[in-house]
Structure 1
Amino acid sequence: MSEIYDIIIVGGGPAGLAAGIYGSRSRLKTAILQKGKPGGQAATTQDLENYPGFSRGTTGPALMEAMAEHAKSFGTEIIREEVVDLDLGGEIKIFKAKSGHQYRARIAILAPGAEPRTLNIKGERAFRGKGVSYCATCDADFFEELDVAVVGNGDAAVEEAIYLTKFASTVTIIVIHDEGILDCNKASAEVAFAHPKIKWVWNSVLDEIKGDGLVESVMIKNIKTGEISERETNGVFFFVGTVPKTEMLKGKVKLNEQGYMITNDLMETSVPGVYGAGDARMKYLRQVITAASDGAIAAVAAEKYLAEEEGFQESVLAVQEPVLVAFWTPQIEASIEAVFTLEKIVSKTDGKVKLVKIDTYRNQRVAKRYGVTTIPSVVIFKQGEVIEKFSGCCCEKELWEKVNRMIS
């Protein structure tokens, strides 16, 4: 039987590496399962100028290598394995690798990443990072006073094209539709149509990207006439969507219509003990810094989750004598009074009954698990099983009668 990790992270991009740093630093046994070399998409970005602390910029590969070494310095194991299936339903999560090996952990952090949707146009792959880009926020400043082309006409394409005008001399949008028809929202379209730097090529698709080392021109095909024309340009930006790498997560955690993981602010997915982080998560901005933030949050939330679960197991579920679990919060005065009353009653039982207090402000998970919606509430456990639950304030006499019946 394989060893059980505290945390296993699927994906070694910036989200996974940050989670590894935070997990291992919390003294949790942490491993990252990564198909190839760590770094994800960020490791393919040659120039990286918007990561805080690097005013002169750094390279994607250098930053990712530094993050990987940072994680390993705290004890994170980076294991070269491609995860092909997962069993996330139990207390112990099972990770099945392509090699046939299985890994087990109490916590799963899923950071498989996403990738730009590609069109497989001739020259697209060859010039990636050499004039071909999929991120205006990342690369716009490399094209200052130069001419660029944009492929796509949805919200992202038109909004990013508008952003590019802050840097480029001209921005040419290649549109498959008839003149004046765009797939983006009306407000963005109006701004784009009125912008003097934005040019339009209608009824057309990109046919080829050409250059000598760097992008120098594009071949554009008119879909109505079949005519192909060449247009000089220094860069090509593709905005035709991104694809989350979540195919194996279908039916295991909740995804949105586009396949992105749905999480809350703690990066929790729909499955207890399973967290989502990075570009495969439904979010507003997909950048190295936001991926790293996700990973840090997920690992810290996971550490709190494990501490809470272990504490509850030890103090409540594994105890033989009856346990009164008082759900309270210092913000509600009635719950403070209820706790005081319970303490008096339990003190009279000569240790035959235990009292455990749970601040629902700090631990909403346990309250939700046992259907606690009113504060104060008391849940009575005996040998790990719930035998009674009541909410609201009870007088001392009523509470004593309930407790006395348990020990008599």
Structure 2
Amino acid sequence: MTQENVKMLIIGSGPAGYTAAIYGARADLKPVLYTGAQVGGQLTITNDVENYPGYPDGVMGPQMMVDFQKQAERFGAEIRMGLATKVDFSSYPHKVVIDNKHEIIAESVVISTGASAKWLGIPSEERLNGKGVSACAVCDGFFFRGQDVVVVGGGDTAAEEATYLSKLCNKVHLLVRRDEMRASTIMQKRVENTENIEIHWNTVTEEILGEEGVEGVRVKNRETGEVSEIKATGFFVAIGHEPNTGIFKDYLNLDENGYIQTVPGTSKTKIEGVFAAGDAQDHVYRQAVTAAGSGCMAALDAERFLAAKEMEAV
């Protein structure tokens, strides 16, 4: 196995990773960033991004990530394809193995591995992703203003997405798999008290209808077996996200859903010299702009950590 020493290692791309690379490079920390399996993160499956400052006419998600990468490379960050497959944070400096064949000895590590939306797993969902199918109402709800949409899920995420969309859309159909919601009582009451949200209990999605875009949804009632169709132009999957943090579980504190826990107000983890940014540690906001902000925090925290280390060595 080959080995390499790095001052700042960034695991994962996306707004958090690329922003950390920009700040790290400008601080002359010579950051090395490994993109992970999904280069650019979740934004690469997002079409129009209209809520990120600095793009007055909006921008396609993949193009936005190309812009971020170019800016990081302009200052000297090294962007590499590769997936972190193993870590060892038991001693300092830290060890990270890439693609099971290359070991990085890192003086500081920024984790920006993100989170992946959970999907239903039906073919039409994948085929129409970005063409009316979305996993983020805040990101894409604007495009369905005045239209009828469907939201799938029964937890707080689904309740929040349905309530948000109800302010933009003509009607929101909320498909709940069981005869009750898992959402908190207050969120359930908000949904139930919103006139243009219709709850479909014991209902599962059989197929999303449409060729070039969403035209409707075929659903089935789990109790009666009745199959029906709902006309809609948007389909929002709100069954949760799964943070890409499995390889860190033996070393870092994760919450019950797998998100990395950081010291409040910082990007610091329980391990000295390891920092976390973006959706790997944020289950509340999950926006490109907040991810970028936390990437900045992680780079600044890492820079200060390394400076303190140098002072100790003097």
| CA–CA separation in structure 2 for the residues paired with 1:3 and 1:182 | 50
| CA–CA separation in structure 2 for the residues paired with 1:3 and 1:35 | 18
| CA–CA separation in structure 2 for the residues paired with 1:247 and 1:99 | 16
2:111 matches 1:110 = yes
Is the CA contact 1:49–1:56 (under 8 Å) kept in the aligned structure 2? yes
| CA–CA separation in structure 1 for the residues paired with 2:111 and 2:202 | 41
The match for 1:360 is none
- Structure 1 length as normaliser, TM-score? 0.74
The match for 1:378 is none
Is the CA contact 2:52–2:288 (under 8 Å) kept in the aligned structure 1? yes
- Structure 2 length as normaliser, TM-score? 0.96
> What aligned pairs does 1:148-167 form with structure 2 within 5 A after superposition?
148-167=149-168
| CA–CA separation in structure 2 for the residues paired with 1:3 and 1:172 | 53
The match for 1:78 is 79
The match for 1:46 is 47
> What aligned pairs does 1:87-236 form with structure 2 within 5 A after superposition?
87-178=88-179, 181-236=180-235
Q: Helix, strand or coil: the match of 1:285?
A: coil
| CA–CA separation in structure 2 for the residues paired with 1:296 and 1:155 | 29
- Over 3 Å counting, the alpha-carbon distance change for 1:122 and 1:81 in structure 2 is closer
Is the CA contact 1:10–1:33 (under 8 Å) kept in the aligned structure 2? yes
Identity, % of aligned positions: 38
> What aligned pairs does 1:359-398 form with structure 2 within 5 A after superposition?
none
Paired AA for residue 140 in structure 1: G
Is the CA contact 1:263–1:282 (under 8 Å) kept in the aligned structure 2? no
> What aligned pairs does 1:216-365 form with structure 2 within 5 A after superposition?
216-264=215-263, 265-314=265-314
- The count of aligned residue pairs is 312
The match for 2:69 is 68
Is the CA contact 1:10–1:111 (under 8 Å) kept in the aligned structure 2? yes
Is the CA contact 2:85–2:100 (under 8 Å) kept in the aligned structure 1? no
- Superposition RMSD on alpha carbons, in Å? 1.3
Paired AA for residue 83 in structure 1: A
- How big is the shift at 1:210? 1.3
- How big is the shift at 1:90? 2.0
Is the CA contact 1:157–1:240 (under 8 Å) kept in the aligned structure 2? yes
Is the CA contact 2:4–2:103 (under 8 Å) kept in the aligned structure 1? no
1:50-90 CA-partner distances (Å, limit 9, x unpaired) = 00122221111111101100001111111111110011222
Unaligned segments of structure 1, at least 5 residues: 315-408
Q: Helix, strand or coil: the match of 1:215?
A: coil
Q: Helix, strand or coil: the match of 2:215?
A: strand
| CA–CA separation in structure 1 for the residues paired with 2:39 and 2:122 | 27
Q: Helix, strand or coil: the match of 1:284?
A: coil
Is the CA contact 2:107–2:273 (under 8 Å) kept in the aligned structure 1? yes
| CA–CA separation in structure 1 for the residues paired with 2:39 and 2:119 | 22
Is the CA contact 2:36–2:113 (under 8 Å) kept in the aligned structure 1? no
- Over 3 Å counting, the alpha-carbon distance change for 1:284 and 1:200 in structure 2 is closer
Paired AA for residue 146 in structure 2: E
| CA–CA separation in structure 2 for the residues paired with 1:126 and 1:70 | 32
- How big is the shift at 1:283? 4.5
Q: After the TM superposition, which of the residue ranges 148-157 and 280-289 deviates more from structure 2? A: 280-289
Q: Point out which structure has higher relative CO (alpha carbons under 8 A, 6+ apart).
A: 2
Unaligned segments of structure 2, at least 5 residues: none
Q: Helix, strand or coil: the match of 2:250?
A: coil
| CA–CA separation in structure 2 for the residues paired with 1:36 and 1:204 | 33
Paired AA for residue 239 in structure 1: A
- How big is the shift at 1:177? 2.5
Moved over 2 A (4+): 35-38
1:235-275 CA-partner distances (Å, limit 9, x unpaired) = 11111110001111111211111110001222011100000
Is the CA contact 1:38–1:65 (under 8 Å) kept in the aligned structure 2? no
The match for 1:356 is none
- How big is the shift at 1:101? 1.3
1:254-303 CA-partner distances (Å, limit 9, x unpaired) = 11111100012220111000001110104421111111111111001111
- How big is the shift at 1:5? 1.3
The match for 1:30 is 31
Q: Helix, strand or coil: the match of 1:94?
A: strand
| CA–CA separation in structure 2 for the residues paired with 1:253 and 1:125 | 33
- How big is the shift at 1:17? 0.4
1:291-340 CA-partner distances (Å, limit 9, x unpaired) = 111111100111111111110221xxxxxxxxxxxxxxxxxxxxxxxxxx
The match for 1:399 is none
- How big is the shift at 1:149? 0.5
The match for 1:390 is none
